[in-house]
């Protein structure tokens, strides 16, 4: 498969502090990878290097190589803005733009890309909202503020916004941690559907969720506070949960710590 996302020997820093060390991972198209591990182990940090959002934080920098379909995302001539248009992201807390309507939120990315044609925008909005299983709930109030939706709807709105620009990869940073179980179920169903079109990487604290939605699971851990986080092991989800190689993985997935 040519459209792989490959992470090789990546070290991630916040200023002088090395937050994550020596990560090597491969992501396949049309698959879901879950990042699990205790708090502070660097899961979200690794996720944010995949669309160059890590460097938005002052002092944030990355060593090593991250390539998508063979193209180094960190090559000197690559524009981080272009990377983020190819690798979309959904955050822990739903963050629709508060001053925008539902419609404007969904097409925000397309407008940034310069699309102005009204009917094309309307088509894209409907397609994305259907894709995010939100269309039926909001089709009669597209001109109402996005912030007026429930938390779960807002998160699906954010997913619609992310897929409207048709990225290759969708990153999700604990997308359900601020949601109730019903909304969580809706998002998980959606992940299952989105998998047919996108490569998905999801960070989660919910082990059952990782087991339910992912094809591949990566377990991160850190030796002690102040030490860099490390990728302990990665493999097909059933194997990680049923036959983990490392003792710490076994301890974590069986609920003995974390």
Binding of another protein by 117 (CB under 8 A): no
Which of 77, 16, 8, 1 has the alpha carbon at shortest distance from 49? 8
Q: Applying CB under 8 A, does 183 fall inside the site for another protein? A: no
19 near 44, Cβ under 8 Å?
no
**Between 42 and 88, whose beta carbon lies closer to another protein?**
88
162 touches another protein (CB under 8 A): yes
Q: Two tokens at 107?
A: 């097409």
178 is a site residue for another protein (CB under 8 A):
no
Which one of the spans 16-24, 36-44, 157-165, 241-249 is the region binding another protein (CB under 8 A)?
Answer: 157-165
Residue keyed to tokens 């490392």: 246
Instruction: Please report whether residue 127 would count as binding another protein according to CB under 8 A.
Output: no
For residue 193 the two structure tokens come to 């559907």
Tell me how far apart the alpha carbons of residues 42 and 222 are, in angstroms, rounded to a whole number.
8
**CB 204 to another protein: min, Å:** 18
Q: Is the dihedral of CA 105, 125, 110, 46 positive or negative?
A: positive
Spatial separation of the C-alpha atoms in residues 222 and 227, rounded to whole Å: 6
Asked if 254 is part of the footprint of another protein (rule: CB under 8 A), the reply reads no
Q: Is 160 near another protein (CB under 8 A)? A: no
- C-alpha separations of 81 from 25, 62, 86, 138 in Å: 23, 17, 9, 30
The footprint of another protein on this chain (CB under 8 A) covers a number of residues equal to 30
Given candidates 1, 2, 76, 81, which one binds another protein under the rule CB under 8 A?
Answer: 81
Which of the residues 87 through 116 are near another protein (CB under 8 A)?
Answer: 88-89, 91, 93, 95-100, 108-109, 112-113
How far is Cα 4 from Cα 21, in angstroms, rounded to an integer? 22
- Judged by beta carbon, residue 30 or residue 93, the one nearer another protein is 93
* Site of interaction with another protein (CB under 8 A): 51, 53, 56, 58-59, 81-82, 84-85, 88-89, 91, 93, 95-100, 108-109, 112-113, 145, 147-148, 158, 161-162, 165
């Amino acid at each position: 498969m040519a459209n792989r996302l490959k992470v090789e020997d990546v070290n991630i820093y916040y200023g002088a502090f090395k937050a994550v060390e020596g990560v090597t991972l491969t992501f396949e198209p049309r698959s879901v990878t879950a990042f699990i591990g205790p708090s502070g182990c660097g899961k979200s940090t690794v996720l944010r290097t995949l669309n160059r959002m890590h460097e938005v934080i002052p002092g944030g920098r990355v060593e090593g190589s991250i390539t998508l379909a063979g193209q180094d995302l960190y090559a000197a001539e690559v524009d981080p803005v272009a990377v983020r248009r190819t690798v979309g992201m959904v955050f822990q807390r739903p963050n629709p733009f508060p001053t925008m309507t539902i419609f404007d939120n969904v097409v925000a990315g397309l407008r940034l890309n310069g699309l102005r044609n009204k009917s094309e925008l309307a088509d894209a909005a409907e397609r994305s909202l259907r894709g995010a299983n939100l269309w039926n709930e909001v089709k009669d109030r597209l001109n109402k503020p996005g912030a007026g939706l429930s938390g779960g709807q807002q998160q699906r709105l954010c997913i619609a916004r992310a897929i409207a620009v048709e990225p290759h990869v969708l990153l999700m940073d604990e997308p359900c941690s601020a949601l109730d179980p019903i909304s969580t179920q809706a998002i998980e169903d959606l992940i299952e559907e989105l998998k047919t079109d996108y490569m998905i990487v999801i960070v989660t604290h919910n082990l059952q969720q990782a087991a339910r939605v992912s094809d591949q699971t990566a377990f991160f851990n850190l030796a002690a506070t102040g030490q860099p986080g490390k990728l302990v092991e990665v493999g097909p989800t059933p194997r990680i949960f049923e036959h983990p190689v490392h003792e710490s993985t076994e301890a974590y997935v069986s609920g003995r710590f974390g």
